[in-house]
């Protein structure tokens, strides 16, 4: 290898490590030096006229949330020690309210980083208060006490002037103050000469190391004065604190007067840093509404606590007119935080919240931890009983109340054992209920859109709106009921829209629009009366100091339609309405309940057409030891009128006395005793050609009866007069019990009802457990050659009938017997044939009950002389053949058709019918035909 080749470099030369590190330290030190130099330069510049202008501009640019603005025209001297501020102006959102020509400041701003605020002297001279400031409310979450040290050796307002327009006169003000705050040391001294009757003196000197404690306050703020105006008060206010002693043992007093009346009075103590207070507050002019009712006119306060590093730690108790409250724990007034503060409270007067509202056994336990503006408060509220007309028992609310800023949130977990409304049916349902949801409170507004209230079989979903300042609350939403069992009535499904309001002082109102159905009815009487399928709708309004109102209540069922309005007020109730029953027709109802008992009146327009009953009135009213029942109306036997007394004497069986019950000229009288086994007694029927008695007595676990009645020339003045020449009726039996049975017989002669005449009638029958037989015979007038015998059998769901006889030497027969079968409460007639001579008639169809009426009649060569059996002096001759159809359904007009052919029509004694006439008739009954007939009639009348 050559020398040149060996001497060539083999890579980059290495730099020593020590040299690299030295260069890095050099760069850092240069940068740090430049940074410090910039800071020093900035500090130097700030203390120049340019810097002074910059500071003044920054002060003017400050925008505190309370609206305060500070303007400085010029700064002289040093901003780091002694400075003179000229042209100082303080403004609120409405403009300047204080001007200060000169303010002298001696302070140590750089001490802020080591020992807090350090002001040696601040003197403001010759300032003028132009008006009282109107600043915006500051942030409530700001610390109540500063968390830094403070030193103010001298603060002075020198030769200040209150402008004449502020107080009505010019006033000179001088004020001096001094303050120190550091751990273990507190000093505050304020003295002011404020003019007029205003007075201000404050001294607090606390120094445990030197066993010193002194507290003295003298504050006088008359109405219309300077101090009252600055705090915005319209009352005279005086505060006085005085005492004597040392840090180890100090005793003092506190007295406050408002408008020359005592506002508060306390004894104060300090024993080695444990402060105590005991006395009363008279808050009548400070609180209103609910708070005033709870606190009353005098409130006792007591407590003891330590106060160190801005933390107040102890226990306190408040006793007011209706509340007893304790608090134990700590409050950090610098951090605005609670530390394990446990609050308990109980309501001591059940009637404290107003007339008509009673709350018993109310107690609350709550724990507060965390910042005042961000609190979570676990709590347990229990109430034994609330009575607001409606009574609530065993109420409990548990949860965690949250606070975020000014908004409070409460997850609801509320339970109630029972609610008592006074209605036995409702009270049996309102048990073991609970409520869930979330309540929110902000700016005095309480609201929730997701409240849920649940009882067995009931569920409600509500929205809540409330105003805590005014004490008004409203709750609205739907309530659903499913499978709700009403004892001894049935099972209910339904829904309601509810609006509830609660006003200050306990006044309340609930309004509900409801619709319900009862698919299952367990009560036999209710089921029989309504026919099942019960539906209910209407409105109910109730509340404190107002009647309970029932509005537009509608009850619909298979057999019954009812419309009602009513009210309950002052211990009484009223109901009025109209209705329609499938069996008894249309009726009106009026009922009331007063101090002497219930009253009711029912009026049926046409309850039993077969008996000719019309305009039947039944009225019930209280009498001594019972009720009087008045009844009146029209019947096929004539008008009737009666008075019955239901006697309910204590210790005696119930009695029903018939004071008067008359039909035409016949009268029923007597009395019945109503016992557990049935009725016993005797009812006598006399007058108008009647003579007889009905005897009742319990028998075999059922109601036994015996009937014996004679009639002789008995007359009944109905719409169609009725006459019975002679009759004898007997019967006896037992209804109900283990075996129901009855037997009876009737024999009568000479029955005339309008044009209908029956010469003789005899019948005998017997029935046992719903099954029975009967035989009857009917004859026309003497010499009419008419007789008819009937035989039949009955069963719970079936009736059969067969007849035979003769008229005018021609045979009457039933080749196909009549069979009636129960159908939807009515009867179905199987095709039934009646023959007379060479003619016949076949009838079939359905009638009665809830279904439609359908009747079809076929006629073939049926003699018209049959009408002479029942109707006198008709004397028709001829034969009729054809078909008759008739149909009627509930809610629709009747309709039908008839096609008849009459051969050889004659009537004895009429010239126009001296020879036979043949006729062919076609008739139709329909809504259109009825309208056409009405139009024709209207035209003919014109």
Band of pLDDT at residue 703, cut at 50, 70 and 90: confident
Closest CA to 847 of 885, 888, 800: 888
Q: For residue 836, what is the enclosing H or E element? A: strand 826-836
Q: What is the pLDDT of residues 92-139, one digit of tens each?
A: 999 999 999 999 989 888 888 888 888 899 999 999 999 999 888 776
Q: Which of 57-81 are b and which e, b meaning 16 or more Cβ less than 10 Å from the residue's Cβ?
A: eeeeeeeeeebbbbebeebeeebee
Task: Quote the pLDDT of residue 874.
Answer: 63
Instruction: Name the more confident of 194 and 184.
Output: 194
Q: pLDDT tens digit string along 712-770?
A: 998 888 777 888 999 999 999 988 766 778 999 999 998 888 777 888 999 999 998 88
Strands 150-162 and 128-129: parallel
With contact defined as beta carbons under 8 Å apart, do 654 and 633 qualify? no
Query: How many whole angstroms separate alpha carbon 226 and alpha carbon 233?
Result: 10
Which residue do the tokens 């009938």 mark? Answer: 801
Closest alpha carbon to 724 in 745, 751, 699, 746: 751
Model confidence pLDDT, tens digit, residues 510-525 = 899 989 898 887 776 6
Over residues 74-81, the mean pLDDT reads: 87
- DSSP label at residue 15: P
- Which residues share a beta bridge with 363? 346, 382
Q: Distance of CA 701 to CAs 74, 673, 680, 697, Å?
A: 116, 16, 13, 10
Whole-structure pTM value: 0.57
- Report pLDDT for 492: 80
Q: For residue 908, what pLDDT is reported?
A: 63
CA distance 171 to 180: 30
The Cα-based distances of 643 to 629, 646, 667 in angstroms read: 6, 10, 11
* pLDDT tens by residue, 159-177: 999 999 899 899 999 999 9
CB 269 within 8 A of CB 301: no
Given a contact cutoff of 8 angstroms between Cβ atoms, the answer to whether 475 and 508 are in contact is: no
Residue 19 has what pLDDT? Answer: 54
Q: How many CB atoms lie within 10 A of CB 381?
A: 16
Q: Say what the pLDDT of residue 940 is.
A: 40
Of 447-451, 494-498, 701-705, 882-886, minimum mean pLDDT range? 701-705
Section 14-28 average pLDDT: 54
Query: Is pLDDT larger for residue 392 or for residue 796?
Result: 392
Which pLDDT band, with edges at 50, 70 and 90, does 842 fall under?
very high
Write down the pLDDT at residue 40.
Answer: 52
Report d(CA 762, CA 891) in Å as an integer: 41
Contact 520, 533 (CB under 8 A): no
Confidence of residue 938 (pLDDT cuts 50, 70, 90): very low
CB burial string 824-863: b at 16+ within 10 A, e below: eebbbbeebbbbbbebbbbbbbbbbbebebbbbebbeebb
Two structure tokens written together for 8: 């060539």
Residue 20 has pLDDT above 60, yes or no: no
Residue predicted with more confidence, 531 or 411: 411
Least confident span in 210-214, 495-499, 909-913, 917-921: 909-913
d(CA 352, CA 347): 8
The band of 939, judged by pLDDT with boundaries at 50, 70 and 90, is: very low
What DSSP letter does each residue of 236-249 carry, written as one string?
-EEEEEEEEE-SSS
705, two tokens: 């009866």
- Residue 178's contacts (CB-CB under 8 Å, 6 or more residues apart) are 152, 153, 154, 155, 187, 188, 189
Residue 10: per-residue pLDDT: 46
Instruction: Please give the pLDDT value at position 873.
Output: 59
- 608-664 pLDDT per residue, tens: 776 677 898 989 888 888 888 999 988 877 888 999 988 888 888 888 898 888 888
**What is the rounded average pLDDT of the residues 558-578?**
85
Give the list of residues 6+ apart from residue 930 with CB closer than 8 angstroms, or none.
893
**pLDDT on residue 593:** 80
The pLDDT of residue 881 is above 70:
yes
Query: What are 769-795's pLDDT values in tens digits?
Result: 889 999 999 988 765 678 889 999 998
pLDDT score of 570: 73
Q: Rounded distance, CA 601 to CA 695, Å? A: 29
- Adjacent-strand bridge partners of 568: 548, 573
- H or E element that contains 292: helix 289-295
Task: Mean pLDDT check: name the lowest of 484-488, 536-540, 598-602, 721-725.
Answer: 484-488
pLDDT bucket at 257, cuts 50 / 70 / 90: very high
Residue showing tokens 């009498």:
623
Nearest Cα neighbor of 683 from 652, 708, 712 is 708
333-372 pLDDT per residue, tens: 888 889 999 999 999 999 888 777 889 999 999 999 888 8
């Amino acid at each position: 290898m050559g020398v040149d080749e060996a001497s060539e470099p083999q890579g980059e030369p290495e730099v020593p490590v020590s040299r690299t590190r030295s260069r890095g330290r050099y760069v850092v030190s240069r940068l740090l030096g430049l940074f410090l130099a910039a800071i020093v330069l900035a500090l130097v510049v700030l203390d120049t006229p340019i810097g002074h202008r910059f500071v003044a501009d920054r002060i003017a640019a400050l925008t505190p949330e309370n609206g305060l603005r500070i303007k400085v025209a010029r700064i002289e001297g040093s901003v780091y020690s002694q400075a003179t501020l000229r042209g100082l102006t303080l403004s609120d959102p409405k403009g300047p309210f204080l001007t200060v020509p000169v303010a002298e400041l001696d302070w140590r701003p750089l001490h802020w980083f080591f020992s807090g605020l350090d002001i040696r002297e601040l003197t403001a001279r010759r300032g003028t208060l132009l008006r009282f400031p109107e600043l915006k409310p500051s942030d409530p979450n700001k610390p109540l006490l500063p968390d830094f040290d403070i030193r103010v050796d001298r603060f002075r307002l020198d030769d200040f002037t209150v402008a004449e327009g502020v107080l009505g006169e010019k006033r000179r003000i001088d004020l001096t103050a001094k303050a120190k705050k550091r751990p273990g040391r507190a000093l505050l001294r304020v003295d002011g000469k404020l003019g007029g009757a205003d007075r201000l003196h404050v001294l607090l000197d606390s120094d445990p190391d030197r066993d010193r404690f002194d507290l003295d306050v003298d504050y006088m703020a008359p109405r219309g004065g300077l101090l009252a105006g600055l705090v915005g008060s319209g009352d005279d206010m005086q505060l006085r604190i005085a005492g004597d002693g040392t840090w180890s043992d100090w005793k003092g007093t506190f007295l406050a007067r408002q408008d020359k009346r005592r506002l508060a009075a306390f004894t104060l103590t300090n024993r080695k840093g444990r402060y105590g207070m005991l006395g009363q507050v008279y808050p009548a002019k400070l609180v209103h509404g609910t708070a005033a009712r709870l606190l009353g006119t005098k409130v006792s306060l007591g407590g003891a606590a330590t106060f160190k590093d801005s933390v107040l730690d102890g226990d306190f108790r408040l006793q007011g007119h209706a509340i007893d409250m304790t608090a134990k724990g700590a409050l950090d007034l610098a951090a605005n935080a609670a530390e394990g503060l446990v609050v308990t409270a109980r309501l001591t007067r059940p009637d404290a919240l107003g007339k008509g509202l009673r709350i018993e056994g109310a107690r609350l336990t709550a724990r507060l931890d965390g910042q005042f503006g961000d609190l979570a408060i676990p709590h347990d509220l229990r109430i034994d009983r609330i009575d607001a007309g409606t009574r609530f028992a065993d109420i409990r609310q548990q949860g965690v109340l949250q606070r975020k800023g000014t908004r409070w949130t409460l997850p609801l977990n509320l339970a109630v054992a029972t609610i008592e409304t006074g209605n036995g049916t409702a009270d049996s349902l309102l048990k073991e209920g609970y409520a869930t949801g979330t309540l929110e409170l902000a700016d005095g507004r309480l609201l929730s859109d997701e409240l849920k209230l649940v009882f067995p079989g009931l569920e409600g979903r509500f929205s809540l709106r409330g105003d805590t300042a005014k004490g008004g609350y409203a709750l609205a939403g739907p309530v659903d009921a499913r499978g709700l069992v009403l004892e001894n009535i049935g099972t209910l499904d339904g829904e309601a829209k509810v609006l509830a309001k609660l006003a200050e002082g306990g006044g309340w109102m609930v309004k509900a629009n409801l619709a319900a159905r009862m698919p299952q009815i367990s009560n036999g009487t209710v089921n029989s009366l309504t026919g099942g399928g019960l539906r209910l709708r209407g409105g109910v309004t109730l509340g404190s100091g107002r009647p309970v109102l029932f509005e537009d209540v509608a009850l619909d069922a298979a057999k019954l339609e009812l419309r009602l309005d009513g009210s309950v007020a002052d211990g009484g109730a009223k109901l009025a309405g109209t209705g329609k029953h499938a069996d008894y027709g249309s009726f009106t109802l009026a009922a009331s309940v007063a101090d002497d008992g219930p009253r009711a009146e029912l009026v049926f327009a046409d309850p039993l057409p077969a008996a000719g009953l019309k305009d039947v009135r039944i009225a019930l009213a209280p009498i001594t030891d019972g009720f009087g029942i008045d009844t009146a109306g029209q019947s096929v036997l004539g008008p009737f009128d009666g008075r019955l007394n239901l006697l309910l004497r204590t210790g005696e069986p119930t009695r029903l006395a018939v004071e008067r019950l008359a039909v035409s000229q016949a009268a029923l009288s007597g009395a019945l005793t109503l016992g557990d086994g049935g009725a016993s007694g005797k009812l006598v029927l006399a007058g108008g050609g009647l003579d007889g008695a009905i005897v009742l007595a319990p028998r075999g676990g059922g109601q036994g009866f015996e009937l014996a009645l004679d009639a002789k020339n008995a007359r009944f003045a109905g719409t169609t007069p009725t006459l019975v020449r002679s009759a004898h009726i007997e019967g006896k039996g037992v209804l109900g019990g283990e075996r129901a049975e009855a037997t009876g017989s009737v024999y009568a002669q000479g029955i005339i009802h309008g044009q209908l005449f029956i010469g003789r009638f005899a019948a005998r029958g017997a029935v046992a457990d719903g099954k029975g037989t009967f035989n009857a015979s009917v004859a026309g007038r003497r010499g009419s050659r008419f007789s008819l015998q009937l035989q039949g059998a009955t069963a719970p769901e079936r009736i059969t009938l067969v007849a035979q006889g003769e008229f005018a030497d021609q045979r009457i027969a039933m080749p196909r017997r009549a069979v009636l079968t129960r159908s939807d409460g009515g009867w179905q007639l199987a095709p039934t044939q009646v023959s007379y001579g060479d003619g016949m008639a076949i009838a079939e169809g359905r009638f009665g009950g809830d279904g439609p009426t359908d009747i079809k009649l076929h006629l073939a060569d049926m003699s018209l002389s049959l009408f002479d059996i029942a109707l006198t002096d008709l004397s028709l001759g001829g034969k009729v053949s054809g078909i008759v159809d008739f149909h009627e359904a509930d809610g629709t007009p009747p309709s039908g058709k008839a096609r008849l052919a009459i051969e050889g029509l004659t009537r004895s004694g009429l010239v126009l019918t001296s020879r036979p006439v043949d006729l062919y008739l076609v008739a139709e009954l329909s809504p259109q035909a009825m309208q056409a007939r009405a139009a024709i009639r209207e035209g003919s009348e014109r």
